[in-house]
Amino acid sequence: MRPFIRYMVWVVDGTRLKKDYPRFFEGRKHIKTGYKNGFFLVHFPEECFPIAWVESSKMVIFDFKGTVPNEPQDEMRNTLWCLLPGRAKNRAVMIGISRQDFVATAMKHAELLPEPAHEIVSAYDKLLIELEAREQQAQTQRRQIRNPHRANMARRL
**Higher pLDDT among residues 154 and 104, named by residue:** 104
pLDDT digits (tens, 9 = 90+) for 70-127: 666 778 888 999 999 999 999 999 999 999 999 998 888 878 887 888 999 999 999 9
CA distance linking residue 1 with residue 121, whole number of Å: 29
Given this model, what pLDDT does residue 44 score? 92
Given this model, what pLDDT does residue 1 score? 44
pTM for the full predicted model: 0.78
pLDDT digits (tens, 9 = 90+) for 48-69: 998 889 998 889 999 998 877 7
